[in-house]
Copies of this chain bind each other. A is one copy, B any other.
Amino acid sequence: MNSTHLINVDTIIEARWLCPVNPQDIVLENQSVVIQAGKITDICATELARTKYFSNEVVQLNHQVLIPGLINLHTHAAMSLMRGLADDLPLMPWLQQHIWPAEQKLVSPSFVRDGTLLACAEMLSGGITCFNDMYFYPESAAAAVNQAGMRANLGLVVIEFPSAYANDADDYLQKGFAAHDSWRNNPLITSSIAPHAPYTVSNKTFESVVTYAEQLGLSVHTHLHETLDEISQSEATYGVRPMQRFNDLGLLGPNLIATHCVHLLKHEIDLLAEHGCYVAHCPTSNLKLASGIAPVAQLLAQGVTVGLGTDGAASNNRLDLFAEMRLSALLAKGSTGDAAALPAHQVLAMATIHAAQALGLDEKIGSIEIGKFADLTAVNLSDFNVNPCYDPISHLIYVCGREHVTHTWVAGELRYSLGAFANIEPNELKEIMSTWQPKLRQYKR
């Protein structure tokens, strides 16, 4: 066929299987995704696409299922440098004797930039295209995100105690807003205000956060009801549980991403639902730190939208949404006694479109639809370890691991394929690991 009759486009991806996620339960076969200027301009049968489009960049995925790029709804990316620094310890010795001393001594712009780049590499190679972060020096995280070519929502962290990064809550906020201004025109980076947690942020600061978030149109990203200690401490200090305190302070609303929510009373689930709050569920971290098991099936039953997060690599210790998808599906079943709880397609939606909704990005990403950005992940289903296959969506959750990811695109750009990154050199990662491991190992368990 003469290519002059064809429409020339940037990229055509010919996928053996395609899970658009919207609608949730559908798997299409032999479909082409057509990409122009970073966006999906057509999705149609490959046979038809070949009669309509031409591209110098045609990627044939003969053995893969193409899914929306995964969205990590809660992480502290730079903490990848502290991966496995102090495992098998209760929360307080872990924080007080290992994590906090290491952070106080070593966290710096270069720590955050290097740690975030290592995290970006890990996430891209595992099919994650976007992450919701909370850490010091967000402008250094942004530098790593830019290099990797990922999408991120970076938290403007606020905490009462001083650090190398900022002196007090106001200083954190002002530094955060300066960072926010610096990436205002960056199409891949957005911001949340990120007050750390109920036990590290005062009422006065939370009130400022509410005001600023409204003025700037930003979401609020925080930890909430992670542990029973947090709740009893709040009762002792404020006379109420953190959820009630948040309600009193006007924090509950559709711009709130509440991370963890492990311990919830029935009326607290109702509160989250009534206010349209989003929950970031981090099952591995919640188990590893012995916080407990979040009541995800109950949250979903009440209409709360839930996404999935890895948390930081110091408490996980993988930034791996395939692991979180599998674990959340399994835990929901085991903890409710209902093997039909949280079926595979719903888990995949949590890791994609539901997380996009939480970030206010669901018009742009989270599903494979015409008009959205081409944030896409290809997962190989030909390996003998994932066969036979009767249902690709089920296999994505219960069988595949991140090791089956072969390609990751962000806004139509191929950022990772078959072991190699577009913008990250293997030697750069090696140097990061060999620079920081010797500095951090004195804090190890």
Interface of A toward B, CB cutoff 8 Å: 81, 83-85, 87-91, 94, 118, 121-122, 125-126, 284, 286-293, 316-318, 323, 326-327, 329-331, 333-341, 343-344, 384-391, 394-395, 397-399, 401-403, 426, 429-430, 433, 436-437, 440-441, 444-445
Question: Once the chains bind, are B398 and A122 in contact (CB under 8 Å)?
Answer: no
Question: Once the chains bind, are B341 and A290 in contact (CB under 8 Å)?
Answer: yes
CB nearest to A428 among chain B residues: B384
Query: In this complex, which of A334, A388, A445 has the most chain B Cβ atoms within 10 angstroms of its Cβ?
Result: A388
Question: Once the chains bind, are B387 and A433 in contact (CB under 8 Å)?
Answer: yes
Question: Once the chains bind, are A290 and B84 in contact (CB under 8 Å)?
Answer: no
Question: Once the chains bind, are A344 and B388 in contact (CB under 8 Å)?
Answer: no
Question: Once the chains bind, are B122 and A384 in contact (CB under 8 Å)?
Answer: yes
Query: In this complex, which of A125, A126, A317, A429 has the most chain B Cβ atoms within 10 angstroms of its Cβ?
Result: A317
Question: Once the chains bind, are B399 and A83 in contact (CB under 8 Å)?
Answer: yes
In addition to A88-B344, A388-B436, 14 A-B residue pairs with Cβ atoms within 8 Å of each other are A87-B398, A88-B394, A91-B339, A118-B387, A284-B330, A286-B334, A287-B333, A288-B339, A289-B333, A316-B398, A317-B394, A317-B395, A384-B429, A390-B440
Question: How many copies of this chain does the complex contain?
Answer: 2
- Residue from B84, B290, B329, B445 within 8 A of A395 (CB atoms): B84
A174 to B444, CA, bound (A): 57
Residues from chain B with Cβ under 8 Å of A341 in the complex: 290
Query: In this complex, which of A291, A341, A391, A426 has the most chain B Cβ atoms within 10 angstroms of its Cβ?
Result: A391
Question: Once the chains bind, are A87 and B394 in contact (CB under 8 Å)?
Answer: yes
Query: In this complex, which of A288, A437, A441 has the most chain B Cβ atoms within 10 angstroms of its Cβ?
Result: A288
Question: Once the chains bind, are A339 and B88 in contact (CB under 8 Å)?
Answer: yes
- Residue from B290, B338, B441, B444 within 8 A of A338 (CB atoms): B290
Residues from chain B with Cβ under 8 Å of A394 in the complex: 84, 87-88, 317
Question: Once the chains bind, are B437 and A387 in contact (CB under 8 Å)?
Answer: yes
- Residue from B91, B391, B444 within 8 A of A84 (CB atoms): B391
Write 26 A-B pairs (CB below 8 A) sorted by A numbering: A83-B387, A83-B399, A84-B390, A84-B395, A85-B390, A87-B397, A88-B343, A90-B340, A122-B384, A289-B339, A293-B334, A318-B398, A318-B399, A318-B401, A323-B326, A327-B327, A327-B330, A384-B426, A384-B430, A387-B437, A388-B436, A388-B440, A391-B444, A401-B401, A401-B402, A403-B403
Question: Once the chains bind, are A445 and B391 in contact (CB under 8 Å)?
Answer: yes
A290 to B395, CA, bound (A): 19
- With both chains docked as a complex, state the minimum distance between the C-beta of A103 and any C-beta of chain B, in angstroms: 15
- Residue from B329, B343, B385, B388 within 8 A of A122 (CB atoms): B385
- Residue from B84, B333, B337, B445 within 8 A of A389 (CB atoms): B84
Question: Once the chains bind, are A287 and B334 in contact (CB under 8 Å)?
Answer: yes
CB nearest to A292 among chain B residues: B334
- With contacts A88-B343, A339-B88, A444-B391 taken as known, whether A118 is within 8 angstroms of B384 at the C-beta atoms is yes
CB nearest to A322 among chain B residues: B401
Query: In this complex, which of A386, A394, A441 has the most chain B Cβ atoms within 10 angstroms of its Cβ?
Result: A394
Residues from chain B with Cβ under 8 Å of A344 in the complex: 87-88
- With contacts A84-B390, A437-B389, A437-B390 taken as known, whether A89 is within 8 angstroms of B339 at the C-beta atoms is yes
